[in-house]
Amino acid sequence: MAGAANVELVAVSKRYGSTVAVDGVDLRIPAGSYCCLLGPSGCGKTSTLRMISGHEEVSDGDILLGSRNITDLAPAKRSTAMMFQSYALFPHLDCVDNVAFSLTMKGVGRATRRKRAMELLARLHMDGFADRLPGQLSGGQQQRVALARALITDPSVLLLDEPLSALDPFLRLQVREELKVLQAQLGITFIHVTHSQEEAMALASLVVVMNQGRIEQVGEPQAVFNRPASVFVARFIGGYNLLPARGDDQAGAIAMPGGAPPGDAHVAVRADRIRLAAAPPQPGHGACEATGLVKTIEYLGLMVKVGVEIDDGLRLSVMLPEERYLAHPVALGMRVSAAWARDDMHVMTH
C-alpha cells in the first residue's frame, strides 16, 4: 500500500446554484487516521467526501494531500480511492475481474492483476468466491469485493460513503469490526461518511460533526461525547439531557450554582449519570436533584431507559444499568427523585 498522507481542507465550499452545501470548511486529518464525517442528511458530509475524491468540483478553497494541492486533479490522479454506497460492481464480471478492473484499464498484464486481486480477496476472506458474479453474492460479500477493488490502486486515502448502511444489523457490526482492523493493518487514512453516531464512535480516531455545511466539532470520539461543543452536537450525539439553565428565581429550568450564565444557556447532563430514588437524596455530596413522575420505561438489555417528567414540566431521560434497575426498580406513575453531581453538568451557551 501507498504511505498514509495528511488530508487538509482550506476554506472549502461547495455550491449547487444558490444552495450552499459546504460552507468554508477548514479541516486537517492526520495521516493514518480513521476519520468519520458525522451528521444528519443534508449537512454536507457526502459533498465534502466527493470533493476530496474529485467526483465533485470545489467551488472555493483548496484540498491538500500531503504536500500536493489536488483541488483540480482528476480522481485517478489523486492517490485516493472511493468506495461508493451502491458498491457499483459490474454484474457481468466475476469477483476477480471486478477487483482487478482498474489495473485492466491501466494495461497491467492479466496474470499480474489477477494475482494482486486474489491477494486482496484473500485478505478480506473472499478468495473462495473469486469466480462468482455479484448477483451470486450477499450484500456483505459484495461490500468486501467493492472494498478490495478500491484498495487495489494502492491509495494513500480510502474514502467510504456510508459503506455499512445497506447491511443488516448483525452484519453491520461484523463488517464494522473488520474495517477497523483493516485500517490498522494498512495504516492508510480512512475517511468514512456516516449518519450513525454509534458507528462513528466505534470506528473513528477522529470524529468531525457537521451541521448545515459547517463543522460543529472535531475531536477524538471520547472528547466529542464527553464534552460536546454545542447544543446541536449534544443532541445529535445523543445520550444527553438538554435542559434550560436558570437562576434561582426562574421556573421551568434547571438551577445553576451562582445563577444562570447570560444568554440562551443549556445544561447538558448525561443520561447514564443520573440516579433515581423513591425519595429525595440526602443533602450534600454536591448533588443536584429534581422530582417528578415516571412516564416511560424501556428495557434495552444491558440498560433500562426511564423517562421522568419533572415538576418544572421538563422531561429527563435516565439510563440505568440493568443490575441497578433490578435492585431498585421503578414503576410507571411512581414519584421519584432524579439526582446528579454538579461535576456532571456541562453548560453550553450556543
**In CATH, what number is assigned to the domain containing residue 288?**
2.40.50.100
pLDDT-based confidence at 282, cuts 50/70/90?
Answer: low
Give the mean pLDDT of 336-344.
90
> pLDDT higher for 153 or 28?
28
Residue-level pLDDT at 250: 52
- Least trusted range by pLDDT, from 38-42, 88-92, 199-203, 222-226: 88-92
Residue-level pLDDT at 283: 54
Domain co-membership, 75 together with 112: yes
Q: Which position has the grid cell 470548511? A: 25
Q: Which three cell numbers stand for residue 100?
A: 482487478
Domain co-membership, 71 together with 149: yes
In a domain, 2, yes or no: no
Give the mean pLDDT of 197-209.
96
Q: How far apart are CA 129 and CA 119, in angstroms?
A: 13
261: how many CB neighbours lie within 10 A of its CB?
15
> pLDDT higher for 231 or 346?
231
Residue-level pLDDT at 281: 55
Among residues 45, 6, 8, 51, the alpha carbon closest in space to that of 27 is found at: 8
In a domain, 19, yes or no: yes
Q: Which of 213, 231, 249 is the last residue of a domain?
A: 231
- State yes or no: pLDDT of 212 exceeds 70: yes
Domain co-membership, 23 together with 111: yes
Domain co-membership, 265 together with 344: yes
In a domain, 262, yes or no: yes
Give the mean pLDDT of 83-99.
89
In a domain, 50, yes or no: yes
The domain in which residue 185 lies consists of: 7-231
Residue-level pLDDT at 50: 96
DSSP codes, 1-53: -PPP--EEEEEEEEEETTEEEEEEEEEEE-TT-EEEEE-STTSSHHHHHHHHH
Q: Which of 231, 262, 294 is the last residue of a domain?
A: 231
Domain co-membership, 276 together with 292: yes
Residue-level pLDDT at 104: 87
Residue-level pLDDT at 84: 81
Give the mean pLDDT of 180-191.
93
Distances from the Cα of 350 to the Cαs of 232, 244, 334, in angstroms?
8, 12, 34
In a domain, 301, yes or no: yes
Domain co-membership, 166 together with 63: yes
- State yes or no: pLDDT of 297 exceeds 80: yes
pLDDT-based confidence at 307, cuts 50/70/90?
Answer: very high
How high does pLDDT run on average in the chain?
89
pLDDT-based confidence at 267, cuts 50/70/90?
Answer: confident
Percent of the chain clearing pLDDT 70 (strictly above): 91
pLDDT-based confidence at 322, cuts 50/70/90?
Answer: very high
Q: Which of 207, 231, 255 is the last residue of a domain?
A: 231
Q: How far apart are CA 314 and CA 244, in angstroms?
A: 9
Most confident range (mean pLDDT) of 81-85, 124-128, 232-236 is 232-236
Give the mean pLDDT of 47-57.
96
Domain co-membership, 220 together with 273: no
- State yes or no: pLDDT of 255 exceeds 70: no
Most confident range (mean pLDDT) of 4-8, 50-54, 110-114, 310-314 is 50-54
- State yes or no: pLDDT of 248 exceeds 80: no
CATH number at residue 204: 3.40.50.300
In a domain, 1, yes or no: no
Domain co-membership, 44 together with 192: yes
- State yes or no: pLDDT of 243 exceeds 90: no
Domain co-membership, 36 together with 96: yes
Domain co-membership, 41 together with 183: yes
In a domain, 342, yes or no: yes
Across 325-339, b (16+ Cβ under 10 Å) vs e yields beeeebeeeeebbbb
- State yes or no: pLDDT of 242 exceeds 70: yes
Domain co-membership, 225 together with 255: no
At residue 131, φ and ψ (nearest 5 deg) are -95, 10
Domain co-membership, 181 together with 257: no
pTM across the whole model: 0.87
Counting the structural domains of the chain, the total is 2
- State yes or no: pLDDT of 92 exceeds 70: yes
